[in-house]
Amino acid sequence: MVPLLKQDIQLIPNQDEGVVSLARQLPDGSSATFRVHPIQAFIMALFNGQNDEHKVAEILSDVMNIEKLAATEVVAKLLNRFSLFFTKVTRSETPLLDIELEALLFEGDESLILSGREDAPSAMIWVVTEDCNRKCKYCYKDAKYVADGYATDIAFPYERVIKTIDEAALIGVNRLIFTGGEPLMRHDLPEIIGHTIEQDIVPIVITKMRVEGQLMTRLLKAGLEELHVSLDSIDANEVLELVGVEGALEDMLVTIKECCEKGIKVILRPVMTAINVDNLGALIEHTYAMGVREFVIDVYGKTCGRHEPRFLLSNEREAQLKEEVRALQAAYPKAQMSFNFDMRDATEVKGCMEGLKGITVQPNGVCVKCEHIPAGPHNTFGDLNESGLLEIWISEKTKEIVVPSRKFFKGTSCYKCDLFRDCNYVRGRCTISAKGKFGTIHAPDVYCPLGEFHASRDIDVKIVTA
Q: Where are the domains of the chain?
A: 2-114, 123-348
Q: Tens digits of per-residue pLDDT, 71-112?
A: 999 999 999 999 999 999 999 999 999 999 999 999 999 888
Q: Tens digits of per-residue pLDDT, 329-339?
A: 999 999 999 98
Find the helix packing angle between 68-81 and 38-46, rounded to 10°: 90
Residue at 255: amino acid letter: T
Q: 330: number of CA atoms within 13 Å, CB side?
A: 5
Q: Which residues pair with 20 in a beta bridge?
A: 13, 36
pLDDT reading at 348 higher than 70: no
Strands (E), 90-143: 123-127, 131-132
Give the span between the Cα atoms of 117 and 425, in whole angstroms: 6
Best CA proximity match to 92, nearest among 51, 50, 48, 56 = 50
The residue-averaged pLDDT of 249-259 equals 98
Tell me which range, 7-21, 298-312, 427-441, is most confidently predicted by mean pLDDT. 7-21
- Per-residue pLDDT band at 243 (split at 50, 70, 90): very high
pLDDT reading at 347 higher than 60: no
The total number of residues shown for the chain amounts to: 466
Helices (H), 130-212: 158-170, 189-198
CA 432 to chain centre: 17
Among 67-71, 132-136, 247-251, 304-308, the least confident range:
304-308
Contact criterion met (CB below 8 Å) for 233 and 276: yes
Q: Give the Å distances, CA to CA, from 140 to 47, 69, 226, 252.
A: 44, 42, 24, 20
- Average pLDDT, whole number, for the chain? 91
pLDDT at 374: 74
Can you say whether the dihedral through the CA atoms of 436, 442, 444, 447 is positive or negative? positive
pLDDT at 112: 83
Question: Does the predicted model carry a pTM greater than 0.75?
Answer: yes
Q: Tens digits of per-residue pLDDT, 392-442?
A: 999 999 998 898 999 999 988 899 999 999 898 888 988 888 887 888 888
* Percentage, residues of the chain above pLDDT 70: 95
> Tell me, which fold does domain 123-348 have in CATH?
TIM Barrel (3.20.20)
